[in-house]
Amino acid sequence: MRFSLLLLAPILLALSLHAAAPAHAHQPAGEVPSLAPLVKKSAPAVVSITSTGALQEAPPHPFFDHPFFEEFFGDRQRPQRRPRRPRAQGSGVIVDAERGHILTNHHVIDEAQEIKVILADRRELVAELVGADPETDIALLRIDAGSLTALPLADSKTLEVGDYVVAIGSPFGLGQTVTAGIVSAVGRSGLRLESYEDFIQTDAAINVGNSGGPLVNLKGEVVGINTAIFARAGAGGNIGIGFAIPINMARQIMDQLLAHGKIQRGRIGVQIQDLVPDLAAALGTMQQHGAVVAQVLPGTPAEAAGIQAGDIVIEMNGEPVTGSSDLRNKVGLLRVGDAVRLVVEREGALVEIDLAVGESGKVALGAGSEVPQLAGVVFGPLTPSSPLYDELEGEGVLVLEVEEDTPAWNAGLRADDVIVKVNRREVKTPDDILEAVEGTDPPVLLNVRRGDGALFIPIR
C-alpha cells in the first residue's frame, strides 16, 4: 500500500499541472512533472531586501560589571562596545514593472533609514518607501530601474484548501530559494500576529528571510505575501505551518497607499463577537456563522443607521460574514466614506441596513474618549470568548482597540489586554474607569493582565 501511495503522488501532481493549463507549470510529453518552467518565469520578480536602522548605542556587557574586572581595570577606561545599526532581511515581489513597485512586509522595513533591494540579476538598488500599514503588515516600495519583471496578482478569494502553491524568497540570507506545498487552510485568524488577520496557511516551507516574498499558484500568479511561521519554542525553523497574507488584502492596502500615502481606516462603531453555538441557542437563531453586535457605540454611523445590540450580522456588501474577525477585516479595509450594506438577523427576521464608514478619529470610542490619556481606546465587557474570562471570573474591562500614536498606544496598551485596576481601584466596567480617574492627576495607572502575565502601565 505504501508503494502504491508513493507511486500515486506524482501522477496526481501531473494531473493537477495538466488541469491548470495554460499554466506555466506543466509536464511535457515523456518528461517527469516539474515546477521548473513556473519557477523560471516567476523568480525574476522576487527580490531580496535589506533594511538598516538608525545607529544605536550598544549596552555595556554585564560581564564587565563583575567585581573582578573592577579590580582588574581600576581607574582605566573599560572596553566599550561599538554602536551598531540594526539590520533586517526579507524578501519582496515586484507587482508593477513599469513603476517599480514592490510589495513586502512592514516588519521587514520597520524603522529603516535605508532600504536596499537586490534583484534576481544581482543589481542592487536603494528603494523608496511609498507607505506601510503595520496593522496588516504590508509595505509598498518603489525602485527606479528598467528591465524589471512583475508577477500578476490572482484573486485570492478563489483559493481552495489543497491547491498547490510555491513560496519564493531568500531564507537565512542564502539567496533565492524555492519551496512547494499546498494550501493547508484559508481564513486563519485569532493568531494575534497582526490587527487584521485572514491568513492563508501553507505547508510550503517558509523560514526567516522569506517574509515579504510571494506565495504563487501554478499559473504563476501571486496569491499571498509570506509573513510568518508557527514554531514550537526551541524548535526553530519551519515545521510545516506557515502563513501568508491574501493578495486581495495586500492589493487593497497597496491601492490606498498609492492614493493617499497612508491608510484611511475607518469604523462603523460596533463591538462584536463570534456567533458560537451556545450564544446562537440563547439568541434563538438557526444561523451557524456571523458576528453578534454586543454594543453600539454612541455617535457612530452604526447608531445613526439603527443597528442594535443583539443583531447578528450575516452579510456585508453581498459577501457572507463568517465571524467577528471577518467583519472587522471587511470594514477595516474599506476607505472612509465607503458605502456598507449589512444584512442582519434581528429576532428571527432579516433586515438590510445601509451606512457609510466613518473616520476613526471622529467616532466616539467609549469611556476612553472622555479621558485624554485614554483617547483612542475602545473598551468592552470581558466576554466568555476571552482566554482570561474564567481565570478572572468575568471581572475586568477588555481593551478592544487602541489607536496608534495615542498616549495609550505609546505607553504600551494593546488590544485584548484586560484592565483589572485603574489607579489601584478595581474596575469591572468602562464607567468604573471613569470614576477611578475622576479628579486625579496624570499619570493614569493601569493594572493589566496580558496572556499569562500581568503588568502596570502608566499613561501620561
SS (H, E, C) 354-381: EEECEEHHHCCCHHHHHCHHHCCEEEEE
Cα torsion angle, 388, 390, 396, 397, sign = positive
- Report the share of the chain in percent with pLDDT over 90: 40
**CATH (residue range 366-459):** 2.30.42.10
Average pLDDT over the chain reads 81
Domains 266-361 and 366-459 share a fold: yes
Mean pLDDT of 111-129: 92
Residue 336 clears pLDDT 90, i.e. is over it: no
Condensed to tens digits (0 to 9), the pLDDT of residues 72-112 reads 455 555 555 566 656 788 999 999 999 999 999 999 998 88
Write down the pLDDT at residue 460: 86
Select which of 48, 156, 189, 211 is catalytic. 211
Mean pLDDT of 252-262: 88
b/e burial code for range 231-265 (CB count within 10 A of at least 16 → b): eeeeeeebeebbbbbbbbbbbbbbebbeeeeebeb
Mean pLDDT of 334-351: 91
The band of 67, judged by pLDDT with boundaries at 50, 70 and 90, is: low
Select which of 16, 48, 133, 137 is catalytic. 137
Cα torsion angle, 225, 405, 400, 288, sign = negative
Q: What is the domain partition of the chain in residue ranges?
A: 2-34, 266-361, 366-459
Select which of 51, 106, 107, 189 is catalytic. 107
Position of cell 498606544?
409
Write down the pLDDT at residue 224: 96
**Whole-number Å distance between alpha carbons of 216 and 225:** 9
Residue 234 clears pLDDT 80, i.e. is over it: no
26 is catalytic: no
Which one has a higher pLDDT value, 418 or 325? 418
Grid coordinates standing for 140? 509598498
Mean pLDDT of 310-319: 94
Residue 290 clears pLDDT 90, i.e. is over it: yes
Residue 431 clears pLDDT 50, i.e. is over it: yes
338 is catalytic: no
198 is catalytic: no
Q: Checking DSSP bridges between strand 266-267 and strand 112-118, what pairing results, if any?
A: unpaired
Mean pLDDT of 309-338: 89
| CATH 3.40.630.30, domain 266-361, yes or no | no
Condensed to tens digits (0 to 9), the pLDDT of residues 188-220 reads 876 666 667 789 999 988 887 888 999 999 999
One-character DSSP codes across 286-299: ---S-EEEEEE-TT
* This model's pTM is above 0.75: no
Residue 438 clears pLDDT 70, i.e. is over it: yes
> H helices then E strands: how many in the chain?
10, 27
Which range has the worst mean pLDDT, 126-130, 151-155, 269-273, 315-319?
269-273
Query: For residue 191, what are the contacts with CB-CB under 8 A and spacing of at least 6?
Result: 197, 199, 228, 243
Contact between residue 171 and residue 210 where contact means Cβ atoms under 8 Å apart:
yes
The band of 1, judged by pLDDT with boundaries at 50, 70 and 90, is: very low
Condensed to tens digits (0 to 9), the pLDDT of residues 2-53 reads 333 333 444 444 444 444 444 455 555 667 788 899 999 999 999 999 988 7
Residue by residue, what is the 3-state secondary structure of 115-181?
EEEECCCCCEEECEEEEEECCCCEEEEECCCCCCCCCCECCHHHCCCCCEEEEEECHHHCCCEEEEE
Report the 10 Å Cβ neighbour count for 309: 11
